[in-house]
Amino acid sequence: MERNALLTAGAVGVVVVALVAAAVVPGVIADPTDDGPVRPGPVDVAGVSIAAGQATGETVTLEIETRIDHRGNPTQNVSVLVRAVDAESGLLTTTQELDVGTLSKDGETATTTNLTVPREGGYDVEVVLYSDDERVDEARKSVRGVSAIKPPYLQSTTSFTDSEALPPVSFAIAETGEDRTTLDLTATLTNAGDDPAEDLSVLFVLRQAESNIVASRTTVDAGTIEAGRTETVDASASVPNDYNYYIDAVLLRDGVVIDTARGAANLNPTRTISVNQTREDVELRVEDFENGDGGDAPRETAYEPTETTSSAPGFGPLVAVVGLLAAVLVARRWSK
């Protein structure tokens, strides 16, 4: 009897202790519906796109958009590593890491990373996706011609025309003198934008084709060119006769070069040049391009004619006599 009572009291004590432990320490008794730790859902790189951001004279910012696809359970500690590698040298140019955090919704999440690179050449952009510091996916995309991305001060809707009917640079002979010719120069500009173009000027530079000597230089104001309009800018220049010239026209806005064009003026009737023609050597008189009328002409040196004599080796009279005596002696010896 006492033994049964003792066993009953012990069983009741065990139950009481278990109930107290379950109340004080949650989780001591396993939940039969618990399947264990939650496995994070899969993530991968759905796509990469590159856009041009802010540009300066030396650098340009590439805006890298990475779309991350997530499915299933929440995924924690997601991050993206983006780096730009020089396409020509293969050297790493810059690296940027972005912490995405936790992804819980199904679908794509877009992230943007900015990389500032030199404004030249091209780059291979590599995107690496991490989950809990473990690489889970990666993608690569290339961009070329970064130098074509212009900073704001180089951007313009106005440029020289590119047409045979309206050549960008043309000229006409206004006056011909004994030593110099005056040319009327014309540059044709088109504003392809939606707003008027202002503060423009055109610099004309005439260079002798074979020597590259600058014969004339002048700058004229281009005024205001309305949207969608084509206008001409006129100037005049005086250059020496009997030479061929390249006419370089430079479009400027507040001292910044916006566009350039080239024409050719053939004032030498015996030789002609074109914009893309190979140069040839011609007689050049530098004094024609000097400022003023000064300049000494090359001196000619006169030389008086002189007479020269020359002799060639041969048999003189003395040698002939000696030979005759030797022949007589030989004949007498044979006769004896």
Q: Mean pLDDT across the stretch 109-135? A: 95
Q: Mean pLDDT across the stretch 284-307? A: 45
Contact 247, 266 (CB under 8 A): no
The one-letter amino acid code at 234 reads D
Query: Of residues 318 and 57, which shows the higher confidence score?
Result: 57
Is 70 exceeded by the pLDDT of residue 307? no
Is 60 exceeded by the pLDDT of residue 289? no
pTM exceeds cut of 0.85: no
Is 50 exceeded by the pLDDT of residue 304? no
Which among 187, 195, 192 is positioned nearest to 171, based on CA atoms? 187
Write the DSSP string, 268-325.
Answer: -TT----TTPPP------GGGGSSSS--PPPP-----------------HHHHHHHHH
pLDDT score, position 313:
46
Find the length of the chain.
336
Is 70 exceeded by the pLDDT of residue 78? yes
Is 60 exceeded by the pLDDT of residue 82? yes
Is 90 exceeded by the pLDDT of residue 71? yes
Q: How far apart are CA 244 and CA 211, in angstroms?
A: 10
Average pLDDT of the chain? 81
Q: How far apart are CA 299 and CA 277, in angstroms?
A: 35
pLDDT band at 159 (very low <50, low <70, confident <90, very high): very high
Q: How far apart are CA 177 and CA 267, in angstroms?
A: 13
At 94, phi and psi to the nearest 5?
-160, 160
Contact 171, 266 (CB under 8 A): no
Q: Kindly give, in sequence order, each residue whose CB lies less than 8 Å from that of residue 141, ignoring residues fewer than 6 positions away.
A: 48, 49, 50, 124, 125, 127
**Three-state secondary structure call for residue 334:** helix
Report residue 57 as tokens. 């004279």
Going by CATH, does the domain composed of 43-148 fall within 2.60.40.10? yes
Domain layout of the chain by residue ranges: 43-148, 156-289
Contact 160, 197 (CB under 8 A): no
pLDDT score, position 122:
95
Contact 203, 219 (CB under 8 A): yes
Q: Which CATH architecture has domain 156-289?
A: Sandwich (2.60)
Task: Give per-residue pLDDT as tens, 190-237.
Answer: 999 999 999 999 999 999 988 899 999 999 999 899 999 999 999 999
Tokens 């473990």 belong to 134
pLDDT score, position 153:
87
Is 90 exceeded by the pLDDT of residue 73? yes
Is 50 exceeded by the pLDDT of residue 44? yes
Report residue 307 as tokens. 């007479």
176, burial (CB in 10 Å: exposed 0-12, middle 13-18, buried 19+): exposed
**Three-state secondary structure call for residue 88:** coil
pLDDT score, position 114:
96
Is 60 exceeded by the pLDDT of residue 92? yes
43-148 and 156-289 have identical folds: yes
The radius of gyration computed from the CA coordinates of the chain, to the nearest angstrom, equals: 47
Lowest-pLDDT choice from 33-42, 115-124, 290-299, 326-335: 290-299
Write the DSSP string, 138-207.
Answer: EEEEEE--GGGS--GGG--SEEE---SSS-SEEEEEEEE-SSEEEEEEEEEEEE-SSS-EEEEEEEEEEE
Query: Of residues 119 and 326, which shows the higher confidence score?
Result: 119
Q: How far apart are CA 314 and CA 316, in angstroms?
A: 6
Which among 52, 117, 57, 54 is positioned nearest to 256, based on CA atoms? 57
